[in-house]
Structure 1
Amino acid sequence: MATLSLAAVLAEPARRHPDRTALVEGELRLTFKELWREARAQGAALAEQGVRPGDRVALMAPNVTEFPKAYYAILAAGAVVVPVHLLLSAEEVEHVLRDSGASLLLCHPAQAPTGGAAAGATGVRMLELGAEGELETLARTTEPLASYVTRAADDPAVIFYTSGTTGVPKGAVLSHFNLVMNATVNAFDAHDVRPDDIALGALPLFHAFGQTVSMNSIWRAGATLVLLPRFDAARAIELMVAEGANTFHGVPTMYVGLAAAAAAASELPKLRLCVSGGASLPVAVLERFEEAFGAPVYEGYGLSETSPAASVNQPGLGTRAGTVGHPVWGVDVEIARADIDDRVELLPVGELGEVVVRGHNVFSGYLGRPEATAEALVDGWFRTGDLGTKDAEGFTTIVDRKKDVIIRGGFNVYPREVEEVLMRHPDVAQAAVIGLAHPVHGEEICAVVVPAPDAGEDADAIIAWSKEHLGRHKYPRRLEFTDRLPLGPSMKVLKRELRAHYADGSSNGA
């Protein structure tokens, strides 16, 4: 039986580069040796509290030092990490605790009211994190674990709860092998992370993107992670300059903010590596950012179920704006017929279909949901639910979620295509396009727009402009303005909320 632990991602640099800075948060600086010792001490405290290998331990904390300490403590004890999204209500946290079978909740004081309510309702014991918290207090009087507990490579390491866009959130079970491999190929094949790199950790660490691409991949290469507890574009620029950060990982909304904030900044960081994921990055945003910062953005694609990285623009394989590049090392990304559920039938180059993935990054399945697992894992492929195409050079383009496609008058309209056009209008800072029920056309196209700073709100002008740049069946007939788009825990725009909000039929547009 092959053994492997995700805890090695921190244990190995602590052994090989003990005095190198691993983590920066405000004034706090921890070396790999110091961070690993604290994680081992907390791991020993967890074991003394009855946590056994294979037990599930929920973790609820923002991007502060307590998160990685507790994360690697759980892994060192041989237990399974269940990260909890910080935007969930107490009832939603209850679901995660019950569904995962968590025996313990480790909770940061900032989340204690919500976490405590959920723990109380489920009878799950809660330990507070932080300098004065119970776990830290217990760890101070406990002899640290000598090393991490050995696990089988296919044992569960982390259970990510999907955002529940199609109903109740499901627990995607990721193995030690899944996550160690994804961190490794991200660090050394896809992104060329170097030991002297300094990365800004602005993505939520409770989410797969932040956890794998920021935290685990950066430490797999022995590089430094600077934590930013709450993303603010101006603060992010200041912090990157102050810390000499050369690496940024973000979602499109972060790139929008950084491009806008760059003009007012007295100094900009010298960035070498910028990675975008989590949602499609409009080409107009990519161009604005690259012009402001003079650094390329490598857009990628993945899901919680794929550890998450599946495909990304990689310098060695060529890059192309508007695509998600090529599959990461050892992974296949193809396009299959979207109208067949019981088997995977791959399509020729250039045809539109469902994106399917296979390789070392594909999860074990959904916890306690064999039927959902069987629907998702077909013929050795993971069916993503996303629509895309692949060209003759192997570049994959994500067109849209299957469920977000708008059917207007019998024609398929892909919201991303409309959003790409709207984002080129000078008065538009952000745009989300949705389909709303219509008595004649079946669905009507509605654009929800965040106006650019100092721009007016002339819906008719933007609609007329989009009519010039889009086919007759594609341009939005209705346009709504908002000061911000609703974002989920993984920073994706929640289109289901927009559909619910604008379904009443009142309109600004023509």
Structure 2
Amino acid sequence: MTNNPWLDQYPDEVPHSYDYPKQNLARFLVDSATLYPQHIALDFLGKKITYSSLLKDVYRFANALHQMGVRKGDRIAVMLPNCPQGVIAYYGTLLVGGIAVMTNPLYVPREIEHQLTDSGAKIIVTLDALVDRVNKAMENHPLERIIVTSLKDYLPFPKNLLYPIKAKKDGMAANVEYNERVLSFVQFLKNSSEKSFEVPVDAEKDLALIQYTGGTTGFAKGVMLTHMNLVSNTIQAQLWFYRSEIAKETYLAALPFFHVFGLTVLLNQAMYIAGTLLLIPRFQIDEVLKTIHKKKPTVFPGAPTMYIAVIHHPEVSRFDLSSIQICISGAAPLPVEVQERFEKMTGGKLIEGYGLTEASPVTHANNIWEKRKTGSIGIPFPDTVAKVVHPETGDEMPLGDIGELVVKGPQVMKGYWNRPEETERTLRDGWLFTGDLARMDDEGFFYILDRRKDLIIAGGYNIYPREVEEVLFEHPDVEEAVVAGINDPYRGENVKAYIVLRKGSIVTEKELKSWCKERLAVYKVPKIYEFRESLPKTLVGKVLRRKLIEEENEKLVNQSKVDL
């Protein structure tokens, strides 16, 4: 690795390489509970759970699964928001040698059916309000067991008593009929032993997780992540945060754990260093600001939309945000304007990183306290190598040229579940082909231009949406912006900008166009502007550019029907 220029940018405290323990991922929790039994592991809306208490519940869950006949390699789906039950089910599954299938609670029956049948999950742990949806999804492939919980099961008094009223108001009330197949989570644990239990695993071969990727086109693919993949990525992220202190950090857990970014940089990492997780079941900006003000988190990983929500909140000055020291932004490009304003507001460091589900997920990040570069995703993590190659030939590109980013490291997946052809296409000689267009500068900093499939080609020119979006974000009246290529019979594609304005702002298409003309080559300037109240996003806060393009294509189809 001596030829890799990014190594010269490493802080002295960060090693170039590390000897990662070959162990069950759940050992992070077991070890922290042994060393810091009375330290608070989880704070769920005021209900505090110590490491010792959490581990006992995890052992109960693992023992109960074993009693039920769950064996090594069996898949257990967990479809919950961020709550203690999700943490218990996740680590309990790992200790019994099972494979967790983290599932988005917002999924519709079609998505649930695909994920559970594709993974071959036998059991699901979910909310009472979601049981009907699961049953509907699995009509043709009934699950062996559904383990059911309610958010109130782990809420503190008096919230646990008030929850049913709120659930009814929010349309989340549920009457569940329990039987041999449908079990109560609380009873499931109550009837089980808290004796320590751990099935031995081969960390490099055995899967800890099947994580389904976004699937913006067609059905989502299951990414196979081993215990070693996730152990190494958790430790890599920790080596990067070298100033963090064992048993002293408090994490704002607003990123969902059913997304691998939240799973690694929040759940696994907090357990590794005996941190405290402030569990946020759903990102609501008012609640998040109150939690920061009151509970003083030190670490707040998130998506750009979360930081945008903070800086644009009309009453943000009323809240004390000074406890925040470290934020790593992922899931989407971080606009420079957002980074600068957030850091000024909190006094903390907000850095941009990069990753993908297939890499557990983090491969690159900017230095937190040393040299970083705006607009860059930073440099590769310890033991991670990256290069830019020609998208067709796979040959390495000259320095500074644009090509496809490929990465290699201990965090790179084993492959796609039951999809050997796709695995072969994406993993070549240990290199993960990301599908992202990038360039590297002479100091080893990488820059993502865009997904290969998001590249806009207008009149023969290559246009990278991110570059245009950065310019739009700099406009004082623009809160959010996304750019996409839409069909044009003459130019091939046109650049279209979708804009969400700041509250009370009035800006015209003409003004935005002249703003862009001053800052971009004429062929990059958006031709069409659409002002919207909001943009379609994933639950992690990633803007769904494909959804906008699909809407445009639908309009074209409808228009052609009218013309006929």
TM-score using structure 1 length? 0.95
What is the aligned-residue identity percentage? Answer: 35
- Provide the C-alpha distance between the structure 2 equivalents of 1:191 and 1:201, rounded to a whole number of angstroms: 20
Question: Which residue of structure 2 aligns with residue 28 of structure 1?
Answer: 47
Cα distance, 1:235 vs. partner?
A: 1.7
Question: Which residue of structure 2 aligns with residue 211 of structure 1?
Answer: 263
1:240 corresponds to which of 292, 308, 330:
292
Question: Which residue of structure 1 aligns with residue 28 of structure 2?
Answer: 9
Q: Residue 226 of structure 2 contacts residue 414 of structure 2 at CA under 8 Å; is this kept in 1?
A: yes
Distance change in 2, residues 1:218/1:426 (3 Å): same
- Provide the C-alpha distance between the structure 1 equivalents of 2:196 and 2:305, rounded to a whole number of angstroms: 42
Q: Residue 83 of structure 1 contacts residue 207 of structure 1 at CA under 8 Å; is this kept in 2?
A: yes
Q: Does 1:129 align with 2:182?
A: no
Q: Residue 406 of structure 1 contacts residue 412 of structure 1 at CA under 8 Å; is this kept in 2?
A: yes
Question: Which residue of structure 1 aligns with residue 189 of structure 2?
Answer: 139
Cα distance, 1:190 vs. partner?
A: 4.5
Q: Greater shift after overlay, 286-295 or 187-196?
A: 187-196
- Provide the C-alpha distance between the structure 2 equivalents of 1:477 and 1:285, rounded to a whole number of angstroms: 25
Letter in 2 for 1:305: E
Q: Does 1:254 align with 2:309?
A: no
Cα distance, 1:262 vs. partner?
A: 6.9
Question: Which residue of structure 2 aligns with residue 84 of structure 1?
Answer: 103
Question: Which residue of structure 2 aligns with residue 307 of structure 1?
Answer: 360
Q: Does 1:443 align with 2:493?
A: yes
Question: Which residue of structure 1 aligns with residue 330 of structure 2?
Answer: 277
Letter in 1 for 2:295: E
Q: How do residues 366-405 of structure 1 correspond to structure 2 at under 5 angstroms?
A: 366-405=416-455
1:175 corresponds to which of 226, 234, 240:
226
Which SS does the other structure have where 1:247 is aligned? coil
Q: How do residues 304-453 of structure 1 correspond to structure 2 at under 5 angstroms?
A: 304-315=357-368, 318-340=371-393, 344-453=394-503
Letter in 2 for 1:111: L
Letter in 2 for 1:47: H
Letter in 2 for 1:129: T
Cα distance, 1:329 vs. partner?
A: 1.1
- Provide the C-alpha distance between the structure 2 equivalents of 1:118 and 1:191, rounded to a whole number of angstroms: 45
- Provide the C-alpha distance between the structure 1 equivalents of 2:400 and 2:369, rounded to a whole number of angstroms: 23
- Provide the C-alpha distance between the structure 2 equivalents of 1:5 and 1:236, rounded to a whole number of angstroms: 33
- Provide the C-alpha distance between the structure 2 equivalents of 1:414 and 1:482, rounded to a whole number of angstroms: 22
- Provide the C-alpha distance between the structure 2 equivalents of 1:60 and 1:361, rounded to a whole number of angstroms: 24
Distance change in 2, residues 1:157/1:150 (3 Å): same
Distance change in 2, residues 1:25/1:265 (3 Å): farther
Letter in 1 for 2:28: V
Q: Does 1:163 align with 2:214?
A: yes
Q: Greater shift after overlay, 418-427 or 236-245?
A: 236-245
Q: Does 1:224 align with 2:276?
A: yes
Q: Greater shift after overlay, 401-410 or 143-152?
A: 143-152
Which SS does the other structure have where 1:248 is aligned? coil
CA RMSD after TM alignment: 1.8
Which SS does the other structure have where 1:96 is aligned? helix
Which SS does the other structure have where 1:214 is aligned? helix
Q: Residue 262 of structure 1 contacts residue 292 of structure 1 at CA under 8 Å; is this kept in 2?
A: no
- Provide the C-alpha distance between the structure 2 equivalents of 1:123 and 1:234, rounded to a whole number of angstroms: 40
Which SS does the other structure have where 2:373 is aligned? coil
Cα distance, 1:297 vs. partner?
A: 0.5
Question: Which residue of structure 1 aligns with residue 252 of structure 2?
Answer: 200
Cα distance, 1:452 vs. partner?
A: 1.0
Question: Which residue of structure 2 aligns with residue 486 of structure 1?
Answer: 536
- Provide the C-alpha distance between the structure 1 equivalents of 2:195 and 2:351, rounded to a whole number of angstroms: 39
Letter in 1 for 2:210: I
Question: Which residue of structure 1 aligns with residue 86 of structure 2?
Answer: 67
Which SS does the other structure have where 1:362 is aligned? coil
Structure with higher RCO (Cα < 8 A, 6+ apart) = 2
- Provide the C-alpha distance between the structure 2 equivalents of 1:110 and 1:253, rounded to a whole number of angstroms: 27
Q: Greater shift after overlay, 171-180 or 288-297?
A: 288-297
Letter in 2 for 1:155: D
Cα deviation code 1:311-370 (max 9, x no counterpart): 001236621221111111111122111122xxx322232111111110101000000000
Q: Residue 135 of structure 2 contacts residue 142 of structure 2 at CA under 8 Å; is this kept in 1?
A: no
Cα deviation code 1:378-400 (max 9, x no counterpart): 12200000011111111111110
Letter in 1 for 2:510: D
Letter in 2 for 1:328: F
Q: Residue 262 of structure 1 contacts residue 268 of structure 1 at CA under 8 Å; is this kept in 2?
A: no
- Provide the C-alpha distance between the structure 1 equivalents of 2:287 and 2:221, rounded to a whole number of angstroms: 34
Q: How do residues 449-468 of structure 1 correspond to structure 2 at under 5 angstroms?
A: 449-468=499-518
- Provide the C-alpha distance between the structure 2 equivalents of 1:68 and 1:262, rounded to a whole number of angstroms: 34
Cα distance, 1:257 vs. partner?
A: 0.3
Q: Residue 63 of structure 2 contacts residue 197 of structure 2 at CA under 8 Å; is this kept in 1?
A: no
Cα distance, 1:274 vs. partner?
A: 1.0
Gaps of 5+ in 2: 1-20, 155-182, 560-564
Cα distance, 1:186 vs. partner?
A: 0.8
Which SS does the other structure have where 2:300 is aligned? strand
- Provide the C-alpha distance between the structure 2 equivalents of 1:116 and 1:198, rounded to a whole number of angstroms: 38
Q: Residue 349 of structure 2 contacts residue 368 of structure 2 at CA under 8 Å; is this kept in 1?
A: no
Cα deviation code 1:34-61 (max 9, x no counterpart): 1111011011111122211110011100
Letter in 2 for 1:219: M
1:57 corresponds to which of 76, 91, 94:
76
Letter in 2 for 1:117: K
- Provide the C-alpha distance between the structure 1 equivalents of 2:455 and 2:515, rounded to a whole number of angstroms: 22
Q: Does 1:106 align with 2:157?
A: no
Which SS does the other structure have where 1:449 is aligned? strand
Which SS does the other structure have where 2:138 is aligned? helix
Q: Residue 487 of structure 2 contacts residue 494 of structure 2 at CA under 8 Å; is this kept in 1?
A: yes
Gaps of 5+ in 1: none
- Provide the C-alpha distance between the structure 1 equivalents of 2:337 and 2:133, rounded to a whole number of angstroms: 39
Cα distance, 1:172 vs. partner?
A: 0.2
Q: Residue 40 of structure 1 contacts residue 146 of structure 1 at CA under 8 Å; is this kept in 2?
A: yes
Q: How do residues 285-304 of structure 1 correspond to structure 2 at under 5 angstroms?
A: 285-304=338-357
Q: Residue 42 of structure 1 contacts residue 136 of structure 1 at CA under 8 Å; is this kept in 2?
A: no
Cα deviation code 1:15-48 (max 9, x no counterpart): 1111111110112101111111101101111112
- Provide the C-alpha distance between the structure 2 equivalents of 1:47 and 1:257, rounded to a whole number of angstroms: 44
- Provide the C-alpha distance between the structure 1 equivalents of 2:32 and 2:69, rounded to a whole number of angstroms: 28
Which SS does the other structure have where 1:19 is aligned? coil
Count of residues in Structure 1 that have an aligned counterpart in Structure 2:
503
- Provide the C-alpha distance between the structure 2 equivalents of 1:370 and 1:317, rounded to a whole number of angstroms: 41
Q: Residue 298 of structure 1 contacts residue 313 of structure 1 at CA under 8 Å; is this kept in 2?
A: yes
Cα distance, 1:499 vs. partner?
A: 0.9
Q: Residue 155 of structure 1 contacts residue 176 of structure 1 at CA under 8 Å; is this kept in 2?
A: yes
Q: Does 1:152 align with 2:202?
A: yes
Q: Greater shift after overlay, 256-265 or 420-429?
A: 256-265
Question: Which residue of structure 2 aligns with residue 37 of structure 1?
Answer: 56
